[in-house]
């Protein structure tokens, strides 16, 4: 029986008795997991476009236009994105919901959300591990810039 299946029997990861990192994360969910509001799609576009128009107007009032500063469009677009992200991050951080609140809102008395999150955590951890392992052969070359001066590549001090 796999470690994952063992964790699902009896007490399972929902109660925090699983010794794997996934089980530890699930055990810590009531304290450490929060859900945040996130704006997507057209909302992002509209706020960014608002900031672009705002910045264009403010800068034009001060004589800064595409005619006087040909690259100003790129500046405005980049900074409008930063302002948009600042606004959405602030709203997101001020509206956080704990796991128990979400479960209560969903009517999830059986903690199905935690089991689903456990499955997703385990799957993503495995993907991350495989990705790292696939890059190990290139790691010595990538880390050569971090070697102590005068040390031969791959040599142990």
Phi, psi of 95, deg, nearest 5: -125, 75
Whether pTM > 0.85 for this model: the answer is no
Maximum average pLDDT range among 23-37, 51-65, 98-112: 51-65
pLDDT band at 50 (very low <50, low <70, confident <90, very high): very high
Dist. CA 69–CA 60, nearest whole Å? 11
What does the alpha-carbon distance between residue 114 and residue 92 come to, in Å, rounded to a whole number?
22
Token pair for 80: 């409008």
At 61, the pLDDT band (50, 70, 90 cuts) reads very high
Span 35-64, average pLDDT:
94
What is the structure's pLDDT at 156? 62
pLDDT for 18: 40
Question: Where is pLDDT greater, at 5 or 136?
Answer: 136
Alpha-carbon separation of residue 86 from 40, 47, 50, 69, 81 (angstroms):
14, 11, 14, 26, 9
| Burial letters 72-105, b for 16+ CB under 10 A, else e | beeebeeebeebbeeebeeebeeeeeebeeebee
CA atoms within 13 A on the CB side of 81: 5
Give the model's pLDDT for residue 106: 85
Residue with tokens 């689903």: 116
Q: What is the C-alpha separation between 154 and 157, in angstroms, rounded?
A: 10
């Amino acid at each position: 029986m796999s470690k994952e299946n063992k964790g699902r029997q009896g007490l399972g990861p929902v109660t925090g008795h699983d010794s794997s990192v996934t089980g530890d994360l699930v055990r810590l969910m009531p304290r450490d997991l929060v859900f945040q509001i996130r704006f997507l799609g057209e909302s992002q576009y509209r706020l960014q476009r608002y900031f672009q128009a705002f910045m264009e107007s403010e800068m034009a009032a001060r004589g800064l236009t595409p005619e006087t500063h040909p690259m100003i469009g790129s500046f405005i677009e980049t900074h409008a994105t930063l302002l948009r992200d600042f606004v959405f991050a602030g709203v997101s951080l001020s509206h956080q919901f704990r796991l128990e609140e979400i479960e209560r809102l969903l009517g999830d008395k059986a903690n199905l959300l935690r089991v689903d999150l456990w499955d997703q955590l385990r799957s993503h951890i495995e993907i991350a591990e495989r990705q790292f392992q696939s890059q190990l052969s290139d790691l010595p070359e990538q880390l050569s810039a971090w070697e102590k001066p005068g040390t031969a590549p791959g040599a142990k001090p």
